[in-house]
Amino acid sequence: MHNIRPRAHATARVTTTRNSLSMWGGLGLFGLLLTLLATTVVRADEHEPITTTHGYSFYGDLTYDEDFTHFDYVNPDAPKGGEISLGTVGTFDSMHPYTRKGRAAALSSSIYESLLGEGVNGTSAPADVYGEYYGLLAERIEYDDGKNWVIFHMRPEARFSDGTPVTAHDIAFSHNLLLDEGLKSYADAVRQRIPKVEVLDDHTIKFYFTEGISRRSLIDQVGFVPAWSKKWYEETGAGLDESRLEISPGSGPYVVDSVDVNRRVVYKRNPDYWGNDLPFNVGRNNFDSIRIEYFGDAEAAFQAFLAGEFTFRTENDSKKWATGYDNPKVRSGAIVKADLPDGSPPVPTGIVFNLMRPQLQDRRVREAIALAYNFEWTNASLQYGLFKQRSSFTQDTPLMATGLPEGDELAFLQSLGDLVPEDMLTQAARMPHTSDEARLFDRRNARKAMALLDDAGWLVGDDGIRRNANGEVLSLNYLFNSSSPDTLSGAMENFVSNVRKLGIEIEFEKVDSSQYTSRERDRDYDLVYDAYAAFLGTGTGLMQRFGSEAAEFSLFNPAGLASPLVDAIIEASLSAETRAEEEASLMALDRALRHEFIMIPVWYNPSHWVAYYDMFEHPETIPPYALGQLDFWWYNEEKAAALKASGALR
């Protein structure tokens, strides 16, 4: 999502599903008719039109009308039952996902719901459209023409898992708790944009928005505040920013069933879930239980999957994908190995520069370090040629900047005046360098890198180490999570080896997951293997990720990027009044972020690689923006019985 979101901190990842994003293009006549059906406009007086609707999009277009019975991609007759189990690597010491202390268990944020609905673990729902949000705890949304305020009319039948009602008082409490005890970057941004919340009655809440700012991401921002029980927090005296295993009840379809710290977490479907029959939920939430198994390293997790200790795996290791599944269970069909389509842009992953470090503020130094990375050799020698090289923050989408700016994008950049460097207008969008596939250490690139370092004043001494005029050594620390797959670790070790050959002192510091999380929060690194969020729409969250506003401390901005050019592009994009203007500004943003050069882009996989025991089924067509294995897949009891009878599963 592109709005500012309260981050569920340090939750272990159990999938490699990419960000939920969207389709493009106009809706045409049919879409217009749906929109007219979906939205009622009531004129309070001749000056203030009021929109009342069952969902929200910034431009007012909704694919699903008010009487929709289920999302198009789900199987409305999917059976309920069975268990899906996943493996993850690392540790956890908390079931509370919104604290900055400790490391929360996987999926611990998924038991909570919000006024607007989403998929499991923050994925898109619906997963076949972009920028459209539909009521979950809220049955009706009301806002004025200028989007100066929004009123959510909540479903009176909504209940927490302890049976208490979910009320507007709980929403207001949650909103304020996030401001008082949540992430500073989140709280600062929200306070500037949302000055007031008002509970109108037990099931009606109104949010007011600051005058004179963009209306982007305001309604969806407040619509995605997680609903926490005010009663539970007041009775327990618990704070938001503390690590704990006891957590407040959620209102979602699953509840925590059992917790074995650092070994296992089980979530079970709540038989009394209040929202079972909502059209939003038809064909979804199909498993009776979701089990997460924890392992000390990636190889142990892989072997446990083959042994049947868990039943669904998303693969991100190319070596394993290419060679590791030559296994009797795969050959017999007991395990399905599938390459499924993924319509969302890849997560912009790479080696991120900490721009707060003095030695990395010189672009020539960053350029030289980047030239030590050899994608072609890495892909051919370590990754079986299975990956593509990423260049863009909106890779393979209509928003990807290519060649010279032209048309609407060029006009947009020219409107920003002197903020735009001349070379952004006269040179093609930045692309990654090419390297010799046959040699890890590309001598041509090495010569370029050494010339750049010399030019930047970092000269090689008699000992082969680079120092500046003050005698300071060019030294770097590269923070890396030791639980990462072996193939990734090997690729990064080769990169580090090449960096050293340039005369740079670099420490490749592998630390466990908990240390990595703590060090990342404190931005205690020069380089880090991390990611930004891809984007296909304008939202205030862009400022939190790429803007100067919170550059010094935002967890969403690991480079600490603070660029007046990027700020100006985002501000202008937030003021876009048409999709065409929005798209032009976001293409310019992609071009500018690549020009700023905040990370060394690595590789990406345009598909979902999954392996699972042949007892799970999914709709014939996977929607573009979510794999949905925990959302709209289902369990086949007969197939599961056959696997157990054959000995393939315990």
Q: Is the peptide bond before 619 cis (omega within 30 degrees of 0)?
A: no
pLDDT of 6 reads 54
Domain boundaries defined on the chain? 28-81+94-236, 254-344+606-646, 349-604
Strands 607-613 and 603-604 turn out to be unpaired
Residues 6+ apart with CB under 8 A from 449: 367, 368, 369, 371, 372, 502
CATH-assigned architecture of domain 28-81+94-236: 3-Layer(aba) Sandwich (3.40)
pLDDT in tens, 560-608: 999 999 999 999 999 998 889 999 999 999 999 999 999 999 999 999 9
Strands 289-295 and 83-89 turn out to be parallel
pTM comes to: 0.84
Q: Are 55 and 587 in contact (CB under 8 A)?
A: no
Are 28-81+94-236 and 349-604 in the same CATH fold? no
Q: Are 648 and 640 in contact (CB under 8 A)?
A: no
pLDDT of 544 reads 85
Q: Are 251 and 274 in contact (CB under 8 A)?
A: yes
Q: What class is the 254-344+606-646 domain?
A: alpha beta
pLDDT of 45 reads 47
Helix/strand/coil (H/E/C) assignment for every residue in 562-622: CCHHHHHHHHHHHCCCCHHHHHHHHHHHHHHHHHHCCEEECEECCEEEEEEECCEECCCCC
Q: List, for the chain, all residue ranges whose pLDDT scores fall below the cut of 70.
A: 1-47
pLDDT of 47 reads 62
Which 3 state secondary structure label does DSSP give 175?
helix
E-assigned strand segments in 285-391? 289-295, 312-314, 335-341, 349-353, 388-389
Q: Are 252 and 281 in contact (CB under 8 A)?
A: no
What six digits make up the tokens of 597?
């050069």
Q: Are 124 and 20 in contact (CB under 8 A)?
A: yes
Strands 475-481 and 505-511 turn out to be parallel
pLDDT of 541 reads 83
pLDDT of 38 reads 40
What element of type H or E holds 529? Answer: strand 527-531
What fold characterizes domain 349-604? Dipeptide-binding Protein; domain 3 (3.10.105)
